[in-house]
């Protein structure tokens, strides 16, 4: 019986090894021949290996995936165009894509590429491994002020970048703030965002009622930045006071009483935190604190990282900087150097630029876009070759807001 038992164990062990071997062969097969799933996912190019579903929305699923050439994880959101058009949401989706394409900021989810067929749109974005800020607040119940300050500094920097590029988010809330593997903030979901124009007021009533500014809920016209700042104030309260029951009580109370501007700030907060919240959650938008004033506030400034201490560059400035080390790495992968640099400078989407941004994001972490290694400018530069020589490039200036080119 003991011998028979040993033989059975050996057979079972061999079977497990065989299954693992077959799984490995299948994974390699998928990497080389790009075999796909069924349905809309079969239209996705073989550059990505799809993993588990991380979310389900009105128009499709969000899946984690692996980029084959770099091995880095991404998130892929598929949007069923039939559902999008049926619900008359195509304009909203196109606007979200156009705005997301323009942004390069360490605390805004980066859109790597958009793949579109007649039936589906795939949005390939940065993967935020640690999920939503809302879930993190619920888990921690209440964040220490130093941790809340760090997250709030990142949020304000990302929102300031949006406003500098004339975009208002209009749906800032913990559910739309994601966290990467190091628990750094990534602003996401620009579905309700819009482009601001000087001299023009926005009128759309949108966003989540608990986080929306009083002027939005009352139907008054608004410029844009002031409504995002109100939402930031509510988020700051949630970070500092966030046990779920207290959050629900506060959000319900402030929604009912915001016309009078009456709410309670818990006494356990420091005087600086209480003062900043009170300056942000002001009913009159003309008296509400601005981002430059938030930056100067004594509670906001401690432990501010160097890359966040300066005003963020706009998209045109960012596109003119190319990281030399990453650039040379992509060239060694077989991409033609002058075509690559022109694509990067003009924000053209293709396989080479996707690889460049994936490698850049995963090299130095959160501040790599701002304070990376050696850089060279786009316009009028000589492209560095691997052997030390240079090649002249004719790259034109980056595209202005709203004019993103795509191959």
Delimit the domains of the chain by residue range: 37-126, 131-309, 315-392
Rounded to whole angstroms, the Cα distance separating 75 from 244 reads 28
How much of the chain, in percent, has pLDDT values that exceed 90? 52
Nearest to 290 by CA among 104, 159, 133: 159
More confident residue, 196 or 386: 196
Is residue 107 within 8 A of residue 88, CB to CB? The reply is: no
Whether pLDDT at 133 is above 50: yes
Q: How far apart are the first and last CA of the chain?
A: 68
The DSSP annotation for 291-309 comes to HHHHHHSTTT-TT--HHHH
Q: Which CATH number fits domain 37-126: 3.40.50.2000, 3.30.200.20, 3.40.50.10300, 2.60.40.10?
A: 3.30.200.20
Check residue 92 and give its pLDDT: 86
Check residue 363 and give its pLDDT.
Answer: 75
With H, G, I as helix, E, B as strand and everything else as coil, classify residue 53.
Answer: strand
Q: Is residue 268 scored above 90 in pLDDT?
A: no
Residues 366-390, buried b or exposed e (16+ Cβ, 10 A)? bebbbebeeebebeebebbeeeeee
Cα angle value 57/63/68 (rounded, 5°): 155
Cα separation, 335 vs 329, in Å, equals 10
Give tens-digit pLDDT for 100-113: 988 989 999 999 99
Structure tokens, 32: 């080389």
pLDDT at residue 29 in the model = 43
Gap between the Cα atoms of 363 and 176, Å rounded:
25
pLDDT of residue 137: 92
pLDDT of residue 21: 33
Predicted local confidence at residue 20, as pLDDT: 36
More confident residue, 205 or 266: 205
Q: Is the pLDDT of residue 249 over 90?
A: no
Residue 366, pLDDT score: 54
Q: In this model, does residue 3 exceed pLDDT 70?
A: no
Cβ–Cβ under 8 Å, residues 291 and 163? yes
DSSP character for 38? S
Measured CA to CA in angstroms, residue 79 lies from 69, 93, 95, 132, 137 at distances of 24, 9, 14, 21, 29
Q: What pLDDT sits at residue 385?
A: 53
Identify the CA nearest to 340 among candidates 348, 188, 102, 123: 348
Predicted pLDDT of residue 405: 32
- Looking at every residue in the chain, the average pLDDT score rounds to 80
Comparing 248 with 304, the larger pLDDT belongs to 304
pLDDT(154) > 50: yes
* Arithmetic mean of pLDDT, 201-210: 90
What does the pLDDT read at residue 38? Answer: 54
Residues carrying an active site annotation: 171
The confidence score (pLDDT) of residue 4 equals 41
**List of residues 6+ apart from 268 with CB closer than 8 A:** none
The pLDDT tens digits for 12-68 are: 333 433 333 344 334 434 443 444 555 667 778 889 999 999 988 888 899 999 999
Burial 149-186, CB ≥16 within 10 A → b, else e: bbbbbbbbbbbbbbbbbbbbbbbbbbebbbbbeeebbb
Q: Above 80 in pLDDT, residue 149?
A: yes
Q: What CATH number does the domain located at 131-309 have?
A: 1.10.510.10
Q: Enumerate the H helices of 121-205 as residue ranges.
A: 133-140, 145-164
3-state secondary structure (DSSP) of residue 126: strand
Is the model more confident about 392 or about 177?
177
Pairwise pLDDT comparison (99 vs 45), residue with the higher score: 99
Task: Give which of 212, 159, 152 is closest to 187, Cα–Cα.
Answer: 159
Which of 3-17, 20-34, 179-193, 199-213 reaches the highest mean pLDDT?
A: 179-193
> Which whole number is the average pLDDT over 177-200?
94
Which DSSP letter does residue 406 get? B
Report d(CA 253, CA 258) in Å as an integer: 8
Mean pLDDT on 265-277:
91
> How much of the chain exceeds pLDDT 70, in percent?
73
pLDDT per residue over 156-175, tens digit each? 999 999 999 999 999 999 99
């Amino acid at each position: 019986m003991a011998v028979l038992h040993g033989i059975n164990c050996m057979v079972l062990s061999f079977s497990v090894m065989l299954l693992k071997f077959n799984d490995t062969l299948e994974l390699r097969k998928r990497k080389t021949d790009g075999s796909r799933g069924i349905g809309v996912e079969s239209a996705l190019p073989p550059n990505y290996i799809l993993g588990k579903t991380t979310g389900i929305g009105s128009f499709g699923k969000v899946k984690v995936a692996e980029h084959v050439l770099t091995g880095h994880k991404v998130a892929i959101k598929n949007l069923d165009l039939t559902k999008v058009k049926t619900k008359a949401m195509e304009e909203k989706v196109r606007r979200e894509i156009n705005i997301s394409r323009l942004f390069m900021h360490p605390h805004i989810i980066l859109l790597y590429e958009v793949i579109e067929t007649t039936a589906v749109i795939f949005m390939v974005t940065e993967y935020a491994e640690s999920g939503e800020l809302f879930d993190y607040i619920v888990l921690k119940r209440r964040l220490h002020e130093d941790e809340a300050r760090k997250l709030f500094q990142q949020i304000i920097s990302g929102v300031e970048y949006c406003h500098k590029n004339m975009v208002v988010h209009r749906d800032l809330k913990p559910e739309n703030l994601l966290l990467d593997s190091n628990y750094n903030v990534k602003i996401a979901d620009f579905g309700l965002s819009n482009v601001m124009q000087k001299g023009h007021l926005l009128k759309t009533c949108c966003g989540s009622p608990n986080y929306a500014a009083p002027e939005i809920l009352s139907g008054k016209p608004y410029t844009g930045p002031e409504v995002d700042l109100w939402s930031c104030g509510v988020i700051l309260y949630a970070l500092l006071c966030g046990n779920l029951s207290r959050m629900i009580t506060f959000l319900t109370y402030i929604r009912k009483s915001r016309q009078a501007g009456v709410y309670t700030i818990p006494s356990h907060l420091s005087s600086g935190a209480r003062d900043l919240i009170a300056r942000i959650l002001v009913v009159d938008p003309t008296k509400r604190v601005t981002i430059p004033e938030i930056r100067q506030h004594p509670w906001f400034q401690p432990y501010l990282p160097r890359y966040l201490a300066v005003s963020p560059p706009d998209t045109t400035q960012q596109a003119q900087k190319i990281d030399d080390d990453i650039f040379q790495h992509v060239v060694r992968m077989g991409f033609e150097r002058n075509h690559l640099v022109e694509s990067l400078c003009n924000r053209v989407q293709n396989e080479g630029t996707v690889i460049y941004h994936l490698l850049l994001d995963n090299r130095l972490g959160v501040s790599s876009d701002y304070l990376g290694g050696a850089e060279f400018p786009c316009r009028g530069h000589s492209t560095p070759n691997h052997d030390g020589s240079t090649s002249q490039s004719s790259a034109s200036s980056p595209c202005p807001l709203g004019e993103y080119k795509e191959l």
